Amino acid sequence: MQIFNSLSKKTEEFQPIESKKIVAYVCGLTPYDDAHIGHARTYVSFDMIKRCFIKKGHSFYHIQNITDVEDKIIKRCLETGSDPIKLTTQFHDEALELFDSLNILRADIYPKVTEHMDEIIAIIKELIEKGFAYETDSGVYFNVTNFDGYGKLSGQDTDHMKAGVRKEVAEGKHSSLDFALWKKSNGEIIEFDSPWGKGRPGWHIECSAMARKYAKRTLDIHGGARDLIFPHHENEIAQSEAASSNKFCNYWIHTGFLTVNGEKMSKSLGNFITLKQALSQSSPNALRLFYLQAHYRSPLDYDQEKLRSMEESVERIFNSLGLMREVSDNPSKQNLEFRKKTDGLVDTFYKNLEDDFNTPEAIAALFNLLRVSNSHLSIANPDCEQVKKISKAVEDMLWILGLEEQKKTIDGKKESLFALLKELSIKEKSKTSEDAMELIIKKRNDARKDKDYKTSDLIRDRLKEIGIMLEDKEGITRYKLI
């Protein structure tokens, strides 16, 4: 498996610390508002990465924090009068339900900042004792100058960083680059006791403390959106490695920016789209496919037209899979050309994923596989054994992509079907939608035998209005929802 490592700025062969066991930390939400399509892009990408490793036989221990103490949360609570714990719990629970609908596998643990003050305070103490942090009247700060290698993730040197800092050095800080580990407070809406007085942790220290507690060793993978590289992930590395003297993480993975109409998403620009809004306009499968048809590191512009085309693509995928599943189990002649072509496309799918999770090319291989299989099914004597094998391969591919077949039922059409029974003067009793469909199909087939095409066509047209299409194949009539 080849992975682009943001730390080395190059593609590397992935080697976990322990064979077949991966420990990963993905930066989670600051739940003060609704989850948006940018969050979904990042978590769909990491879900696909996680699924790739699981399919290859790795265990994947996934830590994803909840930042439930932060300036934006305090500001929102002061504006609305909300309780910070209730506010963050509500928004995070709602986000998880939306992520569930996107078929995102849940993390193994979602540690909250508010529940890990002891671990946060302990690591700050260590940093002070080792000379990497100091206390001022306003808080405790990390001394960037004392840590060699600061900037190795973002690729910036400290002189360049200082030139980019606009604010004056304040509050007793030694340098404009020094960042807060603990912020002192006095009677704020949420604060905690510490050796340095009441206050709350800085943004970065929480991840170092919780990663250390739950990983218990160097992380194999740490990830998040690209905009977290600096300062958040840069600062995580500095404080974690200063405290432990060990490497914090071996592979850093970052997702590309998501824009809307070519611009950064912002409420002030009127282009802010929540995940709930997106899922009211597009199916979960279409939204996942839209995200994955771009490489996870590439920029992506949210496009409603493309999403509509993704709906059609999803339908083609599952229609093709349905046709493959219908192939009989009867022995059939081997078609060597078909076997070579389809086996090759399956291999191409996985080779692309092993090349830094190249989903655009992997998805292209999937659609080629479906096209070749559909064409093969139209011949007189298809290679049924190979078709069955390929249908299973396609199911595995769809699991990695997180595309899940939506099982449609006719239960919601019971009233319309019963009305059609009455219109057709069918007297037999039926209790369920399935019973009604059997009676209607029988009535239609009897009409066709009697060459009563008027009734036959009427039934077909009425069912289509209800959202049901009939298909006649090899003397058997099936139906599907449309």
Mean per-residue pLDDT, 370-391: 94
Integer-rounded Cα Rg, in Å, for the chain is 28
How far apart (Å, rounded) are the C-alpha atoms in residues 353 and 362?
A: 6
How far apart (Å, rounded) are the C-alpha atoms in residues 67 and 73?
A: 9
The answer to whether residue 102 is domain-embedded is yes
Tens-digit pLDDT profile for residues 311-321: 999 999 999 99
Structural domain that includes position 316: 303-401
Strands (DSSP E) contained in 204-296 are 219-225, 249-255, 258-260, 263-264
Report the run of H or E that residue 12 belongs to, with start and end. Answer: strand 10-13
The answer to whether residue 139 is domain-embedded is yes
Question: CB neighbours of 460 closer than 8 A, spacing ≥ 6?
Answer: 444, 470
Specify whether 251 is located in the same domain as 350: no
Specify whether 173 is located in the same domain as 39: yes
The answer to whether residue 436 is domain-embedded is yes
| Residue 266: CB atoms within 10 Å | 10
Backbone φ and ψ of 181, nearest 5°: -100, -35
Type of residue numbered 281 = Q
How far apart (Å, rounded) are the C-alpha atoms in residues 183 and 200?
A: 5
How far apart (Å, rounded) are the C-alpha atoms in residues 470 and 221?
A: 50
Task: Give me the CATH number covering residue 76.
Answer: 3.40.50.620
The answer to whether residue 261 is domain-embedded is no
The answer to whether residue 283 is domain-embedded is no
**Count: domains in the chain:** 3
Specify whether 180 is located in the same domain as 318: no
Specify whether 103 is located in the same domain as 176: yes
Predicted local confidence at residue 139, as pLDDT: 96
The three-class DSSP label of residue 52 is helix
The answer to whether residue 70 is domain-embedded is yes
The answer to whether residue 155 is domain-embedded is yes
Specify whether 388 is located in the same domain as 431: no
Mean per-residue pLDDT, 3-31: 98
Tens-digit pLDDT profile for residues 311-364: 999 999 999 999 999 887 778 889 999 999 999 999 999 999 999 999 999 999
Strands (DSSP E) contained in 143-202 are 179-184, 199-201
Question: Last residue of some domain: 381, 401, 421?
Answer: 401
Please state at what angle helix 37-55 crosses helix 384-401, rounded to 10 degrees. Answer: 130
Backbone φ and ψ of 452, nearest 5°: -90, 75
Q: How confident is the model at residue 268 (pLDDT cuts 50, 70, 90)?
A: confident
Q: How confident is the model at residue 162 (pLDDT cuts 50, 70, 90)?
A: low
Tens-digit pLDDT profile for residues 91-143: 999 999 999 999 999 999 999 999 999 999 999 999 999 999 999 999 999 99
Per DSSP, helices labelled H in 216-251 are: 234-244
Backbone φ and ψ of 280, nearest 5°: -80, -15
Predicted local confidence at residue 473, as pLDDT: 75
Specify whether 371 is located in the same domain as 415: no
- From 34, 27, 28, 120, select the one nearest 76 (Cα to Cα): 34
Specify whether 224 is located in the same domain as 140: yes
**pTM of the entire structure?**
0.86
Specify whether 332 is located in the same domain as 194: no
Predicted local confidence at residue 233, as pLDDT: 98
How far apart (Å, rounded) are the C-alpha atoms in residues 438 and 273?
A: 44
Tens-digit pLDDT profile for residues 135-157: 999 999 999 999 999 999 999 88
Specify whether 124 is located in the same domain as 230: yes
The answer to whether residue 426 is domain-embedded is yes
Predicted local confidence at residue 267, as pLDDT: 81
Residue 326 DSSP code? T
